[in-house]
Amino acid sequence: MAKHLKRTTLARNKKQLPILEKVTITDIAAEGKAIAKVDNLVIFIPFVAPGDVVDIQLTKKKHNYAEGKAIHFYEYSSLREAPFCEHFGVCGGCQWQHIRYEEQIKYKQKQVTDNLTRIGKVDLGEILPIKGSVKTVAYRNKLEFAFCDKKWLTDEQIKSEQAFDRNHALGFHISGMFDKVLDIHKCWLQDDISNRIRLSIKDFCISHEGYTFYNARSQEGYMRNLMIRISSTGEVMVVVVFKDEDEALRTALLTHIAEQFPEITSLLYVINGKCNDTITDLEVFTFKGKDYIIEEMEGLKFKVGPKSFYQTNSTQAYELYKVARNFAMLTGNELVYDLYTGTGTIANFVSHQTKQVIGIEYVPEAIEDAKNNSSLNNITNTLFFAGDMKDILTQDFINQYGRPDVVITDPPRVGMHKDVVDTILFAQPKRIVYVSCNPATQARDINLLSVKYEVCKVQPVDMFPHTQHVENVVLMKLKEE
């Protein structure tokens, strides 16, 4: 390794760590960083692209891998394009902006195939080309921002002699830092009304007394969080989270928001004096408009409240659900189990082509949303249950409600509990449609299911352009005995 090394001192940990010179970046890792190899040492580096030739400053070194950052470029990859966001490289939300979108989805397809092959250890059947996102900017229907009284400054700002407001940030948490927030000027992930609302709120709070920004360490400060949701039907929800109740301050700010942005159809607020930012256990108050917005898909309407889960890319959610429905091969006579049903979006989406859909979800509020969405669309053949999946979905449950012909499962990133897998194997549905946001845990579960099932089709769907995340749908069929 000697030809690659020179020594430098890192002020952060006072240890001598090497610089690797003229290293070619070769690949992209599943977690979004790029990969280089030097004398069998695997190095993970953010914000570079395969084909870049760089000097790498190591920041962490273990026995079999290292982490580093590019400090000098000799050659730039042909896969690159200019990032469009001023916050790229600091925000951390869109790590792949510097890579052309058509190349991003190639790596996502490879990520899916590699995980299913290496971890699943099964024949993958037909692997369909990834469905790229039609919209690569302004594709998110929900963003959450944090107020902070200690603004994160970039290296350029720190080195600059210009004076900066260090006390007022409204933006995104720096990755891995609960108490550091990067002030966001323009975010490209949501329609621009989101930027205008956020900046207007920040300016009002700075220019009026009493609106102190939150400090996560001392847990002081009046302004805490902001959520903005924009539906595919054009409705806008704004949720302002205050640390304490102060009717005069609260009313003045919310009145300002309502007057400045008549487009807002749901203006809500929360008082959160807890140590954490979650609002799932808190009351949400309506200041103006409705307490929900409406999403629409194939003529179906879905109520989305401030606590509701709904796929954050509405356009691609429709593509994802169409894949799941097509894979299910429904004729109208099937009993379908929709596991991890959330607010019942998939269950209601496929209901017209089934005999009955039974949805199961851990969060009771989500199940209430699912029931309401069935009622809203005059759907009468759905049945929903709230509880821990491994406790609800048992052999007794199947004996009582019927053996499913098709199971559609869309678990969280950790995948399915082994007890759930075992119950599916007991139920022996003809087909399993497995929707996943984590191909690695999906592959693990598929390996467990492979004792009775074979993979027939694989369809990746890109829900989050400029990130490493990818959704994947797998169709499994019961093996013939």
Q: What pLDDT does residue 161 have?
A: 64
What digits encode the pLDDT tens for the residues 236-255?
Answer: 999 999 999 999 999 999 99
One-letter amino acid identity for 377? N
Q: Which residue has the tokens 């509405």?
A: 314
d(Cα 126, Cα 109) in Å, to the nearest integer? 13
Q: Report, in this order, helix, strand and coil percent for the chain, each rounded to 5.
A: 25, 30, 40
Q: Give the pLDDT confidence of 6-39 residue by residue, as tens digits.
A: 444 344 445 678 999 999 999 998 788 999 999 9
In Å, how far are 202, 208, 211, 213, 271 from 246, measured between CA atoms? 18, 14, 10, 14, 10
Strand locations in 192-320, DSSP E? 223-230, 236-242, 264-271, 285-289, 293-297, 300-304
Report angle CA 130, 321, 433 to the nearest 5 degrees: 80
Is residue 473 a contact partner of residue 445, using CB atoms and an 8 Å limit? Answer: no
By DSSP bridging, strand 264-271 and strand 285-289 are antiparallel
Work out the number of other CB atoms within 10 angstroms of the CB of residue 400: 8
Residue 177 has pLDDT above 90, yes or no: no
364 neighbors 386 (Cβ within 8 angstroms): yes
Q: Which residue do the tokens 């190349």 mark?
A: 103
CA separation for the pair 432, 349 (Å, rounded): 17
Q: Three-state SS for 77?
A: coil
CA 428 to chain centre: 31
Answer whether 108's CB lies under 8 Å from 438's CB.
Answer: no
Instruction: Find out whether 341 and 368 touch, Cβ atoms under 8 Å.
Output: no
The pLDDT, as a whole number, for residue 166 is: 78
Nearest to 107 by CA among 36, 52, 27: 27
Cα 404 to Cα 430: distance, rounded to the nearest angstrom = 8
| pLDDT surpasses 60 at 479 | yes
User: Does pTM surpass 0.85?
Assistant: yes
Confidence of residue 5 (pLDDT cuts 50, 70, 90): very low
Give 353-386 as a DSSP string.
GSSEEEEEES-HHHHHHHHHHHHHTT--SEEEEE
b/e string for 136-174 if b means 16 or more Cβ within 10 A?
A: bbebbbbbebbbbbbbbbeeeeeeeeeeeeeebbbbbbb
pLDDT at 40 over 60: yes
Please give the mean pLDDT across all residues of the chain.
93
- What secondary structure letter does DSSP report for 153? P
Residue 131 pLDDT greater than 80, yes or no: yes
437 assigned to active site: yes
pLDDT over 70 percentage in the chain: 96
Nearest CA to 88 out of 57, 47, 121 is that of 47
| pLDDT per residue as tens digits for the range 407-431 | 999 999 999 999 999 999 999 999 9
Which residues touch 430 (CB under 8 Å, ≥6 apart)? 405, 406, 477, 478
Task: Find out whether 148 and 131 touch, Cβ atoms under 8 Å.
Answer: no
pLDDT (mean) for 85-99: 92
* Among 436, 432, 427, 473, residue whose Cα is nearest residue 454: 432
Q: Taking 50 as the threshold, does the pLDDT of residue 62 lie above it?
A: yes
Residues 251-278, mean pLDDT to the nearest whole number: 97
What domains are defined for the chain? Answer: 2-75 (2.40.50.140), 102-136+313-478 (3.40.50.150), 142-297 (2.40.50.1070)
Average pLDDT over residues 394-413: 96
Which of 91, 205, 437, 456 does the annotation list as catalytic? 437
Q: What mean pLDDT is predicted for residues 78-84? A: 96
Token pair listed for 76: 């730039």
